[in-house]
Amino acid sequence: MTVNDVAQFLVVVAALAVTVPLMGAYMARVYSGATSRLERVFRPVENLLYRVSGVDPESEQTWRGYVTSLLAFSAVSVLVLYGIQRLQEWLPLNPGHISAPSAPLAWNTAVSFVTNTNWQNYSGETAMSLFTQMTGLTVQNFVSAAVGIAVAVALIRALSRSRTATLGNFWVDLVRGTVRVLVPVASLAAIVLVAGGVIQNLDAPHLVHTVVGARQSLPGGAVASQEAIKELGTNGGGFFNANSAHPFENPSGFTNVFEIWLLLLIPFSLAWSFGVMVERRRQGIAILAAMALLWAGSVLPAMALEAHGNPLLGPGINQRASATVVGGNLTGKEVRFGAGPSALFNASATATSTGAVNSMSDSYTALGGGVLLVNMMLGEVSPGGVGSGLYGILILAILSVFIAGLMVGRTPEYLGKKVQAAEMKLIGLYILIVPACVLAATAISLSLPSVRASLLNHGAHGLTEMLYAFTSASNNNGSAFAGLNGNTTFLNTVLGVCMLIGRFALIVPVMAIAGSLGRKGRIPDSAGTLRTDTALFTTLLIGVTVIVVGLTYFPVVTLGPIVEHLVTHG
């Protein structure tokens, strides 16, 4: 890893250190119902949204009411997005005359964007019309992010309130998150991206005659606006097939680091908001520290591994960085970013459930690709997706408290809320659902010869390719080892089911836990209380996260990336 790679990592850290407390405090105000300096802009828009949809913004919902509204909104979203894709031939803004995707592909894509996964079994340039990209995919980039944050906020309210039956109003959280957080920040980010060279137009591909007289069609599109929310909302679905490796999505070393910061911003900031909203700032910092250490612990090794290069290329290929040589494993990477910062992007995107790539993960070194895989297996808590990262790590925090309580014989409690059998059953369910989905689906797919035909690479790398797909889908990440051809009826359907399970089969137990915790009173701290705002607790939380995941996935990770590494390094 070069000095310059480390410097770019530190630039991201410094940018986050400055912006996370500001953004975290702002979001805490938004979700506490505080007014803003731009109230005269936000309020009329929100009131209009409430009025037309018949929502009373003053009323609150129980956990059941909250989750019912959430599921209804998501179900309607899947249907509408499916419909837009299937009808795009007859809808406006289709300058390239793109026909409709097949039914399995449209199903997969609809589920993918509604679950904030953004797994893409299609190529953006040639499969989706401008209308679909704007009114279908961009919209879900916003609202699926707002839904994720809403669940996290409801869980925070359950912890911060005492003996409450209600956890807020889903519609209000959805609207305020979209109007006051996502749209303004994405707008500012999009302006920065356009200034950095990302395109923003509504044109059909533009035919040019190149220097040597060949023909080249340069694509058009409202790219910067989608790129901004793609990163900010930890969505990750590329406007183009190459995602953020495409120069029109990510033109320079500056936009690269900017996009990395943007995709980490909300997941880290929500931990800060949590501390503010429970009125114990140190509790938020303890969670934030666990997220940050897990993140740094994965991005730095990934950067070092990719900057080191691919030993199998032999001595005739110069992979050592110098003033004139861009070093490292450059297969599938852009020279303007360099190998280290490419890995910084992909590792941050897998750690946040963004799933965007600025380089092709399938061509990463065996262990570099393994880091990306493990980031997703951690259950997306380092710092995880918008909202899902926070509620995921809060579940693990409650589990940690429970384990620690068992070890020392104390009654487990988190933020003064007793953790009892009802919560622990739901947490057990939460922990088991995703690994069950990943391992079963991978095993079934690899046992079917027709599905194995979708693999580009074979041997240990082929196993990783399939495992990566189901890990990505079930954890709602969307990152891909893109050698796998997922656009088959079987994979479209099964990956779609995994995405639905990974999203909603987790949200329902989380909301049930929130309902149960909300009803409890807050016990005042005593000498016997396990403190959860200390470095010791942060360490425990990291340990529980790694061990729970490690024990589940270690055998299959051994057969994939670890075997491949041992083979390539003789």
Partner 1 sequence: MMRRVVRAALVMLLSLTVLTGIAYPLVLTGLAQVAVPGRANGSLLYAHGHAVGSSLIGQAFTNAAGQPLPQYFQPRPSASNYNALASGGTNLGPSNPVLLRSVARLARAYRAFNHLPPGTPVPSDAVTTSGSGLDPDISIANALLQAPRVAAARHLSPARVRALVQRYTQSRILGILGEPVVNVLELNLALNRVGRH
Could you say which residues in the range 272-311 bind partner 1, by CB under 8 A? 309-310
Site string for partner 1, 50-89 (x = CB under 8 A): --xxxx------------xx--xx-xxx--x---------
Q: How far is the CB of 283 from partner 1 (least distance, A)?
A: 33
Q: What is the sign, positive or negative, of the torsion defined by CA atoms of 74, 77, 83, 88?
A: negative
Query: What is the footprint of partner 1 within residues 510-539 (CB under 8 A)?
Result: none
Residue 15 interacting with partner 1 (CB under 8 A): no
What is d(CA 526, CA 253) in angstroms, rounded to the nearest whole number?
A: 52
User: Closer CB to partner 1, residue 12 or residue 517?
Assistant: 12
Q: How far is the CB of 532 from partner 1 (least distance, A)?
A: 36
User: Closer CB to partner 1, residue 315 or residue 409?
Assistant: 315
Q: Is 158 exposed, middle or buried (0-12, 13-18, 19+ CB in 10 A)?
A: buried
Q: How far is the CB of 510 from partner 1 (least distance, A)?
A: 20
Q: Are 141 and 235 in contact (CB under 8 A)?
A: yes
Residue 348 interacting with partner 1 (CB under 8 A): no
Query: What is the footprint of partner 1 within residues 132-151 (CB under 8 A)?
Result: 134-136, 138-139, 141-143
What is d(CA 37, CA 96) in angstroms, rounded to the nearest whole number?
A: 43
Selected from 7, 18, 22, 406, the binder of partner 1 by CB under 8 A is 7
Q: How far is the CB of 139 from partner 1 (least distance, A)?
A: 4
Selected from 91, 94, 254, 539, the binder of partner 1 by CB under 8 A is 254
Selected from 90, 163, 209, 555, the binder of partner 1 by CB under 8 A is 209
Side chain identity at 301, as an amino acid letter?
P
Residue 461 interacting with partner 1 (CB under 8 A): yes
Selected from 35, 210, 450, 526, the binder of partner 1 by CB under 8 A is 210
Long-range contacts of 81-84 (CB under 8 A, 24+ apart): 81/109, 81/110, 81/113, 81/114, 81/136, 81/137, 81/140, 82/106, 82/107, 82/110, 84/131, 84/132, 84/135, 84/136
Residue 409 interacting with partner 1 (CB under 8 A): no
> What is the 8-class DSSP label of residue 531?
P
User: Closer CB to partner 1, residue 213 or residue 555?
Assistant: 213
Residue 446 interacting with partner 1 (CB under 8 A): no
Residue count (the chain): 570
Q: How far is the CB of 451 from partner 1 (least distance, A)?
A: 18
Residue 19 interacting with partner 1 (CB under 8 A): no
Residue 316 interacting with partner 1 (CB under 8 A): yes
- Alpha-carbon 560 to chain mean position: 23
**Other residues' Cβ atoms within 10 Å of the Cβ of residue 193:** 28
Residue 503 interacting with partner 1 (CB under 8 A): no
Q: Any bridge partners for residue 166, and if so which? A: 62
Nearest C-alpha neighbor of 465 from the set 568, 553, 364: 364
Nearest C-alpha neighbor of 43 from the set 176, 188, 187: 176
Query: What is the footprint of partner 1 within residues 353-372 (CB under 8 A)?
Result: 357-360, 362-366
What is d(CA 103, CA 83) in angstroms, rounded to the nearest whole number?
A: 10
Residue 226 interacting with partner 1 (CB under 8 A): yes
Q: What is the sign, positive or negative, of the torsion defined by CA atoms of 84, 87, 89, 93?
A: negative
Near partner 1 by CB under 8 A, which window of 29-37, 201-209, 407-415, 525-533?
201-209
Residue 444 interacting with partner 1 (CB under 8 A): no
Query: What is the footprint of partner 1 within residues 464-493 (CB under 8 A)?
Result: 465, 481-483
